[in-house]
Structure 1
Amino acid sequence: MYTRRTLRRTRTGATLLAVAALLVAGCSSGSTTSSASSAGPAAEAAALKPLPSSTPAALTPYYEQKPRWRDCGAPGFQCATLKAPLDYAEPSAGDVRLAVSRKKATGPGKRLGSLLVNPGGPGGSAIGYLQSYAGVGYPAEVRARYDMVAVDPRGVARSEPVECLDGPEMDAYTRTDVTPDDERETDTLVEAFRTFAEGCGADAPRLLRHVSTVEAARDMDIVRAALGDEKLTYVGASYGTFLGATYAGLFPDRAGRLVLDGALDPSLPARRLNLEQTAGFDTAFTAFAKDCVRQSDCPLGGAGTSPETVGKNLKSFFTELDARPIPAGDADGRRLTESLATMGVIAAMYDEGAWQQLREALTSAMKENDGSGLLLLSDSYFEREADGAYTNLMFANAAVNCLDLPPAFASPDEVREALPDFEKASPVFGEGLAWAALNCAYWPVEATGEPQRIEAKGAAPIVVVGTTRDPATPYRWAQALAGQLSSARLLTYEGDGHTAYGRGSECIDSTINTYLLRGTPPTDGKRCS
């Protein structure tokens, strides 16, 4: 299901700047429970067990690596490659190459070590995020004291990326109708999921079995050791919170200052994760709808129009696109379909700074028969480049999600049974997000993970950040993760958008900066706006 990314998108105004932390978005995984609402409570999930504190002899060579840094990317950044075992249960079976990048502490002040950052996904490039944003955009006082570091998780971007479809194939996949009206359209959707999965399996048959979050967390410990840090200092967003929490659960004695922003609840089966995230998008859409009708250029209703009516108007527009896609000014001849328009709207839910862009895009599409604005938003969501190529975000997203948890649905019949719950959670997005959660049913590799509570007993204080109207990682998940982690401090941002750090709240930013620089965590339950 994840998440994320996430999609976590760092924006200035309505301009998309960085990587996604994708959650549902057609790449979901989860429980095989027969009813979306019948998943058991988090208390029924087993607790993640920590690994032994001593390093097994077979792993010692990995922990004793010394990175050979070279200049790369923008000025001031360096890159290196480290190795990790493909299979931690059988270290002699081969290696995975991990791409690492850093920007050294700028000073003044005593260096505090390395600060690893992860923007989410799964599938978001941490190195891309570091070099385009975190390495230059994090607070100067943080960059002065820490070496800013990123590692692309196995299967992602520069670390042996999983590839599934080429550009034209991916174009066809993204425009596939995810609200099938009959058996023929259902068969077409299932075939699209099968083609996607088969492409991934053909590209990386061995690696596909070893891209789990647990393995990525273990890789981070090798990176920590190679950097010479006694403990891991880390800021993870969206799916990155699951990765960071998993690290803390496996290595509680090595968890240093951890910030988990836009948290996931690791104890839930993914059908319930999908359902709750669907409700999260509905919460965000309601906030957008209320704001939209206060603006003079809202194409979905005027002053006083209820969010429910705004949603019905948008849903009617989607239905029209399902029957008749519209031109989108695309050089490759693509038209705006219902599925692409839906993803464009969802992309704008991640940051209220994109709401104006969304209003303009909807106005062009609904009143001028021009779908280019919504197609641009959708392309940003899927990380489609101008030349028609795609990054491996969506491929890695599915590969990790489908390995971390069993499939949310085993068949189209199970989706149909769950549709009332999803449509209740979101009248606008529920149907499409329910069908999108079917993809892992056709994955070529069986899941190795399961829902687990993460307690990380003995870890230093961990800051868990939740945003009250977060679309992709509902606030309840931050509350749940904070309730599981034995040393968590919950920090709440009362606002819109996905994640909170670096998005304009002085209260949030100063609280997290104080924790990173001085080790002083906030009072549990602190709230900011």
Structure 2
Amino acid sequence: MFRKSAGLAAGLALATTVTGLVALTPPTVAHATATAAEAAAPHAGVASAAAVAAAAPILWRACAGEGVPAGMECGALDVPVDWSRPRGKQVRLELVRLPATEPARRIGSVLGVPGGPGGSGVEDLKRAAPDLTELRRRFDLVGYRPRTTVWGTTAAEPCWKPGVALRDPRDRRDFEAMAGAMAKAFEVCREADTTGLFSHLDSLSVARDMEAVRRALGEERLSFMANSYGGVAAAAYIRLFPQRIRAMYLDGVVDQTEGWSTVNLVARAGVEGALARFGRWCAATPACALHGEDAAEVWRELTRDADREPIRVTSQQYGEGELTGWRLRNFGFVPDPGPGHARWAALAEWVDKARNGDGSGFADFVLGNTRAWAMPALLAMTCGDERGYTGWAELRKFRRDIREAAPSFPGAAFDQVGCIGWPEPVANPARPLEVGGLPPMLGAGTLEGDFPWVERFIRKVPGSVTLGYDGPGHVLYLSGKRCPIAHATAYLTGLKLPAAGTVCPAE
């Protein structure tokens, strides 16, 4: 049983929002409970208000609780749930700040834009603080819990019930049946929602919240550090408030501006490359459970066989279910080898057992994701950004395109299937960016993972540069990678970009 928590979006998104390309680890899909400091905060959640406090200064106080960096301050900001009704119901956003350590040389504030969606910028800043001491000399570092994170802790119980058994639609009739079932589940969630957030979780609303934070901080222009799905909110902010951007560092970001089918095509092409690397590693590693075989081909055979005859599994947490080839392709492969290739070693063992009928290694993660990505609570955070297939024709075209881009990972993209019954108007459709007058930006991505996404985003902004990292991973500044952090600090502090083509060695 899933419980309401920001942990679902934060934990799942890291592994699956990007179709496996940037999975750091196969984490448990169970909700992690909110941190004690966040759960106990008296101002968490949604509240009614008679006036908008977007421009009011934030009242900062010393943060309390375990794991809080020295000097961190906490505050809150009320913003409209529906920005077209600024004096309507409000949602309270929690914020944290690490003030500049050299206030006489202070430049301004850097706002962190977390991924997920549903990730917490509060937790991001706590995690990254020890590695950002140089940046903090000249800047106040600010993190916040976006409205999606608030939703993850306040969504009504019916919103956590899967609308369908998530699958690759067989034909148009099956597609329409799934769309109808998801539409019904979305409606049930919307009717149960007392916060008003269900209809206002799109990234344009998030971008307007970011602007409210800027105003409350009293900054003429802000600098930004955005990661992963935070790139969608960053693009929305670029559209709405380009004149308010001093600098923008984009780490492992998704480029939604070309549409989600393109996002997923780029992602799966990266996963196809990771499968080839997995095969080469296994061939060169006697300890690999598939050593002496073509490990990549074993994987392909496993998924083809599972499409014909699904593997029955039992998960202690999610009960009985089936591992179809489509579910394995979407949720089973681990592109990141992990420290000492430990994740690939585990993957090889799971594959070896699964081809002999024991799919237990995949059970929790695959069954958990299959349920989660059919839950209105999770999908409501992304469907407003035009994440679903617009119709059967688009899905069929994606299938044709994916066979060429990533022949080992065919089939519909799980995240787009979940949104096909979205009942609301698409608030933030994919469309080109207007980039005139924007400052040059710095992107960063792993050459074995998310670099292609970041590069597609960054090259749209004249004068910008994408920094490569010669290794796997995702969101380098949250992983403590010294070289990317040094370049990000130089850029944000002095607006100095590295030379085009610069690559940081793996650490």
Greater Cα shift, 122-131 or 369-378: 369-378
Query: Match for residue 210 of structure 1?
Result: 200
CA RMSD of superposed structures (Å): 4.3
Question: Which amino acid letter does the alignment assign opposite residue 326 of structure 1?
Answer: V
Q: Which runs of 5+ in 2 are unaligned?
A: 1-9, 32-49
Instruction: Classify the secondary structure of the residue corresponding to 1:441.
Output: coil
> Where does residue 345 of structure 1 map in the other structure?
332
For residue 463 of structure 1, report the CA deviation from its aligned partner. 0.7
- Which whole-Å CA distance do the structure 1 matches of 2:374 and 2:244 have between them? 29
Distance 1:506 1:154, change over 3 A: closer
1:419-498 matched pairs, under 5 angstroms: 419-433=399-413, 436-470=415-449, 473=450, 475-498=451-474
**Paired residues of 2:201 and 2:382 also in contact (CA < 8 A):** no
Match of 1:71 among 52, 63, 69: 63
| % same residue | 25
Report Cα offsets for 1:148-194 as digits up to 9, x if no partner: 32222223246875456566x45x96xx3514568997687556534
Q: 1:304 to 1:481 in 2, by over 3 A?
A: same
Is the alpha carbon distance of 1:139 and 1:281 closer, same or farther for their aligned partners in structure 2, counting shifts above 3 Å? same
CA–CA separation in structure 2 for the residues paired with 1:331 and 1:403: 30
Aligned pair 1:399/2:380, yes or no?
Answer: yes
Q: Deviations for 1:206-227, whole angstroms, at most 9, x for unmatched residues?
A: 4233222122112111112222
User: 2:80, 2:88 within 8 Å by CA — same for their partners in 1?
Assistant: yes
Distance 1:81 1:463, change over 3 A: same
Structure 1 pair 85/331, CA: closer, same or farther in 2 (3 Å)? closer
1:51 corresponds to which residue?
A: none
The answer to whether the 8 Å contact 1:343/1:377 transfers is: no
Give the AA of the match of 2:135: V
The TM-score with structure 1 as length reference comes to: 0.73
**Cα deviation 1:48-77 (Å, max 9, x = unaligned):** xxxxxxxxxx99852124335363443344
The residue number in structure 1 matching 2:238 is 248
- The superposition leaves residues 335-354 of structure 1 with CA deviations (integer Å, 9 ceiling, x where unpaired) of 563366445434x3256449
User: Alpha-carbon deviation of 1:292?
Assistant: 3.0
Q: Secondary structure at the match of 1:452?
A: coil
Q: Distance in 1 between matches of 2:461 and 2:471?
A: 24
Letter in 1 for 2:55: Y
Q: How does 1:189-200 map to 2 (within 5 A)?
A: 189-190=178-179, 193-194=182-183, 196-200=185-189
Partner of 2:129: 135
Q: Are 1:120 and 2:115 counterparts?
A: yes
Q: 1:86 to 1:504 in 2, by over 3 A?
A: closer
Question: SS of 1:424's equivalent?
Answer: helix
1:315 aligns to 2:303 (yes or no) = yes
Does residue 221 of the first structure (1) align with residue 214 of the second (2)?
no
Q: Work out which of the residue numbers 325, 330, 351 in structure 1 matches 2:312.
A: 325
Distance 1:59 1:255 in 2: 27
- AA aligned opposite 1:442: G
Alpha-carbon shift at residue 357 of structure 1 (Å): 2.5
Larger mean Cα displacement after TM superposition, 214-223 or 198-207: 198-207
Which residue identity does 2:362 align to in structure 1? L
CA distance in 1, matches of 2:30, 2:444: 19
Between 1 and 2, higher relative CO (CA 8 Å, sep ≥ 6) is seen in 1
Return the offset for 1:498.
Answer: 3.1
Indicate conservation of the 8 Å contact 1:361/1:371, yes or no: no
Q: How many Å separate the matches in 2 of 1:492 and 1:160?
A: 36
Q: Which amino acid aligns with 1:345?
A: G
**Pairing partner for 1:359 from 342, 345, 351:** 345
Q: Is the 8 A contact 2:113 2:227 kept in 1?
A: yes
Shift of residue 468 of structure 1?
A: 2.9
C-alpha distance in structure 2 between counterparts of 1:455 and 1:18, whole Å: 38
State how many pairs are aligned: 468
- 1:447-505 per-position Cα deviation (integer Å, ceiling 9, x unaligned): 122222224433333212233332xx4x4433332222235222223433334445475
Contact preservation (8 Å) 2:124, 2:478: no
Partner of 2:6: none
Q: TM-score, normalised by structure 2?
A: 0.76
SS at match of 1:521: coil
Alignment counterpart, residue 294 of structure 2, candidates 276, 293, 305: 305
| Matched AA of 2:167 | V
Q: What's the counterpart of residue 33 of structure 1? A: none
CA distance in 2, matches of 1:100, 1:444: 32
Match of 2:229 in 1: 239
In 2, Cα distance between equivalents of 1:456 and 1:59: 34
For residues 491-520 of structure 1, what are the alpha-carbon distances to aligned partners after superposition, in whole Å with 9 as ceiling and x for unaligned?
223433334445475432321232234442
Question: Who is 1:100 aligned against?
Answer: 95
CA contact (8 A) 1:336 1:371 kept: no
Return the alpha-carbon distance in structure 1 between the equivalents of residues 150 and 311 of structure 2: 36
Among 476, 483, 501, the alignment partner of 1:507 is 483
Contact 1:268–1:451, Cα closer than 8 Å, also in 2: yes
Output the CA distance in 1 between the equivalents of 2:388 and 2:488. 36
Q: Which of residues 155, 158, 178 in structure 1 aligns to 2:167?
A: 178
Residues 264 and 478, structure 1, Cα contact 8 Å, conserved in 2: yes
The Cα offsets for residues 254-313 of structure 1, whole Å up to 9 and x where unpaired, read as 2123210123334313233333333232233333332233222434x4347274x24423
Task: Say if 1:380 and 1:438 are closer, same or farther in 2 by CA, change over 3 A.
Answer: closer
- Against the structure 1 CA distance between its residues 166 and 92, is the aligned structure 2 distance closer, same or farther, given a 3 Å change threshold? closer
Give the secondary-structure state (helix, strand or coil) at the position aligned to 2:129. Answer: helix
Partner AA of 1:410 in structure 2: G
Contact 2:29 2:369 in 1 (8 A): no
1:508 match: secondary structure: helix
Answer whether contact 2:114 2:121 (CA < 8 A) is retained. yes
Structure 1 residues 394 and 462: CA distance shift in structure 2, 3 A:
farther
Q: 1:195 to 1:126 in 2, by over 3 A?
A: farther
Q: Distance in 2 between matches of 1:227 and 1:239?
A: 24
Instruction: Indicate how the Cα distance of structure 1 residues 93 and 331 shifts in structure 2: closer, same or farther if over 3 A, else same.
Output: closer
8 A contact 1:424–1:430 mirrored in 2: no
Deviation, 1:107, is: 6.5
Alpha-carbon contact 2:181-2:421 (below 8 Å) kept: no
| Paired AA for residue 117 in structure 1 | G
The alignment partner of 2:459 has SS state of helix
Pairs within 5 Å for 1:377-396:
377-378=365-366
> Given that residues 318 and 364 in structure 2 are in contact (C-alpha distance below 8 angstroms), is that contact kept between their aligned partners in structure 1?
no
Structure 1 residues 183 and 323 mapped into 2: Cα distance closer, same or farther (>3 Å)? farther
Distance of aligned partners of 1:103 and 1:354 in 2 relative to their CA distance in 1, 3 Å threshold: farther
CA gap 1:187/1:395 in 2 versus in 1, 3 angstroms: closer
